[in-house]
Amino acid sequence: RLPIELSSLIFKKCIAPVSIDARPKASEAPMLLMQICHSWTRIALANPSFWANIHVANASEEFSSLLEIWLDRAQRVPVNISL
């Protein structure tokens, strides 16, 4: 097993801005990481920087709810939002 700190660093390298216009794609990190196992879910949720990049393509009816979840998970980390 890798230490959580090392796993977090590796995971951070695979995370690109995620489009949350409709639903975040389950095939993209950090959502993908949360589907692997409970340990990886804990790592994804414990790393606010994983949630700090958001790409907005088209705002849907669900957009505000999803944005709120994303911002909550980003905690106090500066968030990069691109349009």
Q: Hey, how many other C-beta atoms are within 10 angstroms of the C-beta on 20?
A: 23
Domain count, the chain: 1
Domain of residue 65 covers 4-10+17-82
| Per-residue pLDDT at 9 | 86
Per-residue model confidence (pLDDT) at position 76? 94
Cα end-to-end span (Å), the chain: 38
For the full predicted model, state whether its pTM sits above 0.85: no
Give one word for 75, left, alpha or beta, with left for phi > 0 and alpha for psi -120 to 50: left
φ, ψ for residue 18, nearest 5 deg: -110, 135
pLDDT digit string (tens) for the chain, length 83 residues: 888 889 988 888 877 666 665 566 666 778 888 899 999 999 999 999 889 888 777 777 777 888 888 899 999 999 988 87
